[in-house]
Amino acid sequence: MPGDDSIHWIVEGNMDEDSVLRLESIITNSHDRGADITLDLSGLEFLPEIGARSMSIMARKLRDRGSSFRIVGARGHVKERLKVSGVLEDQ
């Protein structure tokens, strides 16, 4: 049941297409357990457009299913890209 569990993932370094796919898989598996997800991006230096788009889609899907999806610590280029994609619209 959503909300029963909370998972905090830390993402660091540079994200590429392969790491975007791995992150999607991790988040999907976490959600299957009914977890609320927090991504800490304070150590993420580069986020490709496909990564921001993927996070936007994942956030919408999780929220539609009753789970929370939060991103914390985004800064610089990563923060701007997430704002443009609509993921950080209220931050």
Q: 3 or 20: whose pLDDT is higher?
A: 20
Residue 43 lies in a domain: yes
* CATH value at residue 56: 3.30.750.24
Whose CA is closest to 9, among 55, 46, 61?
55
pLDDT digits (tens, 9 = 90+) for 61-73: 888 888 888 999 9
Residue 17 lies in a domain: yes
C-alpha to C-alpha distance for 31 and 16, rounded to whole angstroms: 22
Element (H or E) spanning 50, and its range? helix 49-64
Residue 60 lies in a domain: yes
How many domains would you assign to the chain?
A: 1
Residue 90 lies in a domain: no
C-alpha to C-alpha distance for 55 and 65, rounded to whole angstroms: 15
- pLDDT value at 14 more than 70: yes
Residue 3: per-residue pLDDT = 43
Residue 65: per-residue pLDDT = 82
What is the span of the domain harbouring residue 78? Answer: 5-85
pTM for the structure as a whole: 0.82
Band of pLDDT at residue 41, cut at 50, 70 and 90: very high
